Structure 1
């Protein structure tokens, strides 16, 4: 597949980003099925939650030339999403690349593969999501294959440049702004109601009665 270099996507809507910063990401799981990355793709470094614009990068298994190029283009709030073509042996992401991203204000990075230099990454604290860690790294081979801001797959999820990346200790969600805007208000309402629901549980009220699950089963039976 030849090189495919495209322009960076449009900025995200600031109002939507602000709402997504307030929502509990697992609450979105009440309303969405798509967009949830493989649960084995977990945060390896950093503690902050991520809400950012996806800048997509596709590399070959052993060559991180495209990623090095992309690292000099990202801006504040961007999340680099790296498709390694299914490779699970080489780490394209380590101390130098993550410092490059952090120095430009990136919000985080999600790699559909492995990372390295884990102690340095944790000291830097930029959120890094990967399947694990290794000492075997990619090289700068300069292979004429890869893409920037073209569609990729990460954690089993199709990703377009400009999608919104959400990440916390539970994992990663990647979806279009349109899809997230359609559910975020209802999710925020749920979050606001949850403390009262939990309080009623501690007062002895059955969960099924509070949520309607018991009534549903009685009706079905």
Structure 2
């Protein structure tokens, strides 16, 4: 299949980005089930959270020619998401490519495979998510196969160009802007209530009583109801 190069996706809504930058990402896990990458896809470099627009790149296991091109056209705040076709031996993300992304103002990089030059990546500090590290790297073979801004697979999730990439020390969530917009206000409200809930726990409250879980079990008949 020949290389497919499509236009850059539409910018993310700044208001949504601002809200996502404030929410605790695991809170979104209370309301969503899809879009969560496999836990093995971890942050190997960088310490900051990322909220950015997905720029997708699909390459072959051996050839990162298309990735080099993509690294030169990303916009500030973008997150490059690389699909290596299931290969975990050849690392397409290393010191040069990640520096190229950082120079363009990218928010981070994600590879459904491995990265390399890990000490240099950690010194640079741009967040890089990968399944592991490797000494074996991709090359510039110019193989006529791959895609830029096409649907890709990453961490078990189908990623569309223009999706929102959320990443921190817990892992990665990649979802469409509309899906996240539908739950972000509720998630932020949950975050605002959480300090009071934790304070109630330390005052002796029982978690099941405070969240209603115990009443639910009573309603299911799993626990006896209150005596009168």
Structure 2-normalised TM-score? 0.96
Looking at CA atoms only, which structure, 1 or 2, has the larger radius of gyration? 2
Counterpart residue number, 1:22: 22
Q: Distance in 2 between matches of 1:108 and 1:186?
A: 27
Runs of 4+ residues deviating >6 angstroms: none
Residue 219 of structure 1: CA displacement?
1.2
Distance 1:155 1:2 in 2: 24
Unpaired runs of 5+ residues, structure 1, are none
CA deviation after TM superposition for structure 1 residue 150, in Å: 0.6
Residue 8 of structure 1 and its aligned partner are, at CA, apart by 0.4
Inter-partner Cα distance in structure 1 for 2:52 and 2:219: 44
Q: Could you list the per-position Cα deviations for residues 104-129 of structure 1 after superposition, in whole angstroms to 9, with x for gaps in the alignment?
A: 00000000000000000000000000
Distance 1:219 1:7 in 2: 54
Tell me, in whole angstroms, the C-alpha distance in 2 between the residues paired with 1:123 and 1:54: 24
The separation in 1 between residues aligned to 2:161 and 2:26, in whole angstroms, is: 23
CA distance in 2, matches of 1:75, 1:112: 21
Q: Deviations over 1:13-34 (max 9, x none)?
A: 0000000000000000000000
Partner of 2:53: 53
Q: Paired residue for 1:162?
A: 162
Secondary structure at the aligned position of 1:53 is classed as: strand
Question: How many angstroms apart in 1 are the aligned matches of 2:79 and 2:51?
Answer: 8
CA distance in 2, matches of 1:70, 1:146: 12
Q: Secondary structure at the match of 1:97?
A: helix
- With normalisation by structure 1, the TM-score equals 0.99
Aligned residues: 221
Alignment partner of 1:173 is 2:170: no
Aligned CA-pair RMSD = 0.4
Q: Distance in 2 between matches of 1:113 and 1:56?
A: 14
Q: How does 1:7-46 map to 2 (within 5 A)?
A: 7-46=7-46
CA distance in 2, matches of 1:181, 1:76: 21
Secondary structure, in 3 states, of the residue corresponding to 1:21? helix
Partner of 1:216: 216
